[in-house]
Amino acid sequence: MHRTADVHHRPVWHWLTPMLALLGGLMLALLPTSAMAQEVSFPDVGGDSAHANGVEWMAGQGISIGFTDGTFRPFDDVSRGQMASFLDRALDLPEGDPADFSDVDIDSTHGQAIANLAAAEITLGFDDGTFRPFDDVSRGQMASFLDRALDLPEGDPADFSDVDADSTHGQAIANLAASGITQGFGDGTFRPELNVARAQTASFVYRGLTTEVKLLGWNDFHGRIGTSDSPDAAYFSTHLNTIRDAQPNTLFVDAGDLVGATPVLSNLFYDEATVDVMNAIGLDIQTVGNHEFDRGQDEILRRRDGGCFNGDCDYREGAPFDGQDFTTLSTNVTVDETGEALTQPYEIIDVDGVDIGFIGVTTEGTPEVVSPTGIEGLSFAPEAEAVNETVPLLQDAGADVIVVLMHEGGRQSGDANSCEDRRGAAASITTQFDDAVDVVVEGHTHEAYVCNEEDGPLITQADEYGNMFTDISLAFDAEGEMVLRRGWNREVTQDVEPDPEVVEVIEFYDDLAGDALEEIVGHSEVEIPRTTREEESIQGNLATDALIDQYVDQDIDFAFQNSGGLRADLTTLDQDEDGLYPIRLADVLEVWPFGNIVALAEVDGPLLEEILQNGVEEIGGGRFIQVAGLRIEYSIDDTADGDFPRGVIETVEYWNHPDFDDGEEVDLSASSTYRIAMNDFMSVGGDNYPDIRDEVFSLSEPLELVVEQYLRDNSPVNPQIEGRIVGPQ
């Protein structure tokens, strides 16, 4: 449960030892953890800026508080006098006698700081006896300032095309590069003559005086690895590698639902494709989500340890499956028979001197959303209780930082880097955590937020499906105290080259899947063309009937499908010798190409009516609704403007409902509640449907796989127009 990661950080306190002795036991004047800076407060420094951490750290330590107008002016050049003040405050230098520089008055703005640097032999000035406090500082001069200030060990000549090892600042630049304080520019240059800006200065000093560890966190990936034509995970890997190149002290962590509810390419191979992709990317550690139990508890262990599903590798054409290279944690899922955790409960990773303790925790509500057979003999303890029982174990083992990977989450009302009106299960759970918890990486609710309050941990979540990840920076001073804790959600764009190693893994599974996509999964007695967007369709009836049928154990009353989510004909092959239309897996994927997850929700009568009204708001638009379990009749509002006729719901009646007669009125009052099924796109406000995320009690399987199973269970199908949707006659 304790391992050393294959990452390296700069042990700053080792570099500082000679300097501290030189300065008589000088200590860095960095604030304690409780006073660490919380967020960049300068309007001209973006939260996603490459220098945001340095600026925040300097502001939090009082090294630079910006200007009186509240700005930091990140692109302004730094003068030699300003640099003296930065270093003086950062190092808390002892007061020196007035410096013997002809152009420095001890009573001037930077006079005492210059004197202090001179007394510490960090600066010697120029040969003519001047310091030139108003001259700009070049990048080369900056290197020499920091080299002398930190007494850096001598490094080999730096691999910069424009730096001569024998030049004035050549050795200092080499020392900074060897110590990881600078990497230069992307073109292989250092540009020693270029003036250094204030934001760059912040980064130089920050990297020189702290040790930074990064955690790249994400959640609810659900096997969205992509395909050879669109290798989604390979783009993420490129972004991750860019960060790793800049900061080798980087760990990639996951907050659950890495697999389960996965698209076909991963699902066909029992999510082994996702595991192999994560191995290629370099996932370090994950927690167990509820969807990890989709195929039962034994599969969690098989994916971890390797070996083929049911012991037969035919589906892999004989190729072995080696299992995970990453660790799976959950401290609150225990085996009743032994009382032990099903998986490893916690782990400490030594990042070259910083011991980071990880606790995994799974939503206590897992038994409510997975098959009982998959969790038989397991218990799910309350999240906060389990975390608080584990914290002392990590402390006794010497953890410097405690990070909780929790598959439970909340919601908030702001953008992806806000924390406005935070609510939901996790919002309550985290208030019960031991004060020793520093960071919580959350999942389960498919939301995005960054919450960093002084009296609690940093709490993050990064949306879903690999669309985003949280860049978490933790910085430590020479005494090992945390002096910066900051998270920022970053989008995964596809404007980079995909990681070829990851693409190779995806192509391997693509090739294996070729024959599988041609598999006949069902038959139909009738042709099933693509649905129209202005009336009831047999394709829409099949789609919604599939939801009712496959979730019968959830007592679903009504099911809905937006017509714009049905993208192709379902029957594309000629009739067979029995007069039936074969349906291939590839056909199913063409009709439902978006990888939508089925959302199960409980709504009251008024919210149900709002959903139905939106469904007829544009007759001919993508939002036009397809239904099961009820029948709607609508009229047309002749006064409405817009590109499509506007329908108005007139009646809502039960239709093919197991508990009510056809034609019986559906109660739309606030006192009534109904269980409904729809795709997650509709549930979060897609096509202008009401956002019912707070009413969703389960995000289940990919919609296309639900339809596939329905076809396998019920073929030959024979969907018909039944009068479920009735417009003006």
The verdict on 86 and 123 lying in the same domain is yes
Question: DSSP secondary-structure letter at 7?
Answer: -
pTM of the model as a whole: 0.83
Cis peptide before 192 (omega within 30 of 0): no
CA 332, 333, 336, 342 torsion-angle sign = negative
Please tell me the total count of domains within the chain. 3
How, if at all, do strands 597-604 and 673-679 pair? antiparallel
Rg, Å, the chain Cα set: 30
Q: How far is CA 109 from CA 74, 83, 661, in A?
A: 20, 12, 86
Domain span at residue 412 reads 212-509
Asked if 636 and 561 touch (Cβ cutoff 8 Å), the reply is no
Interior CA angle at 430 toward 355 and 327, to 5°? 40
Asked if 313 and 319 touch (Cβ cutoff 8 Å), the reply is yes
Last-in-domain residue among 463, 486, 509: 509
The two tokens of residue 239 are 């972004």
Q: How far is CA 552 from CA 291, 350, 544, 555, 656, in A?
A: 19, 49, 12, 5, 13
Residue 405, strand partner residues: 360, 441
The verdict on 52 and 187 lying in the same domain is yes
Element (H, E) at 702: strand 696-702
Type of residue numbered 669: S
Last-in-domain residue among 210, 240, 255: 210
**Domain with 382 in it: what CATH number?**
3.60.21.10
The verdict on 205 and 216 lying in the same domain is no
614 assigned to some structural domain: yes
What one-character-per-residue DSSP string does 402-434 give? EEEEEE---B-SS-TT--SS-BSHHHHHGGGS-
The verdict on 115 and 132 lying in the same domain is yes
668 vs 693: CA distance, rounded Å: 20
Last-in-domain residue among 173, 189, 210: 210
pLDDT at 373: 81
Of 210, 18, 199, 209, the residue nearest 120 (C-alpha) = 18
The verdict on 572 and 436 lying in the same domain is no
Interior CA angle at 491 toward 695 and 697, to 5°? 15
The verdict on 594 and 683 lying in the same domain is yes
Asked if 191 and 169 touch (Cβ cutoff 8 Å), the reply is no
The verdict on 321 and 261 lying in the same domain is yes
Burial letters 667-676, b for 16+ CB under 10 A, else e: ebeeeeebbb
The verdict on 474 and 571 lying in the same domain is no
pLDDT at 729: 77
Of 582, 540, 579, 546, the residue nearest 562 (C-alpha) = 540
Of 490, 32, 410, 591, the residue nearest 238 (C-alpha) = 490
Where residue 179 falls (left for φ over 0; alpha for ψ -120 to 50; beta otherwise) is alpha
**Domain with 666 in it: what CATH number?**
3.90.780.10
Asked if 216 and 492 touch (Cβ cutoff 8 Å), the reply is no
Place of tokens 């127009």: 721
Q: Could you tell me the maximum CA-CA distance found in the chain, to the nearest angstrom?
A: 103
387 vs 372: CA distance, rounded Å: 25
The verdict on 205 and 271 lying in the same domain is no
The verdict on 523 and 603 lying in the same domain is yes
Element (H, E) at 15: helix 12-22
The two tokens of residue 351 are 């990042």
3 assigned to some structural domain: no
Cα distance between the two ends of the chain: 70
Helix and strand numbers, DSSP H then E, in the chain: 19, 24
538 assigned to some structural domain: yes
Helix (H, G, I), strand (E, B) or coil at 365: coil
CA 142, 144, 149, 154 torsion-angle sign = positive
Of 410, 365, 357, 401, the residue nearest 383 (C-alpha) = 365
The verdict on 104 and 149 lying in the same domain is yes
301 vs 522: CA distance, rounded Å: 32
1 assigned to some structural domain: no
pLDDT at 40: 58
pLDDT at 27: 27
Question: DSSP secondary-structure letter at 325?
Answer: S
2 assigned to some structural domain: no
Q: What is the mean pLDDT of each run of 10 residues along the chain (729 residues)?
A: 57 35 29 42 91 93 89 96 94 94 96 96 93 97 94 94 95 95 93 96 95 97 92 97 95 96 87 97 97 93 96 92 98 98 98 94 89 90 98 97 97 95 94 98 95 92 96 94 96 97 97 89 97 95 98 96 93 96 93 87 98 96 96 95 91 97 97 97 91 92 93 98 94
Which residues does 402 contact at the CB level (< 8 Å), separation at least 6? 357, 359, 391, 394, 395, 436, 437, 438, 439
Type of residue numbered 681: F
The verdict on 227 and 136 lying in the same domain is no
Angle subtended by helix axes 170-178 and 139-150, to nearest 10: 60
What one-character-per-residue DSSP string does 566-611 give? --S-S--SPP-TTS-EEEEHHHHHHHS-S-PEEEEEEEEHHHHHHH
293 assigned to some structural domain: yes
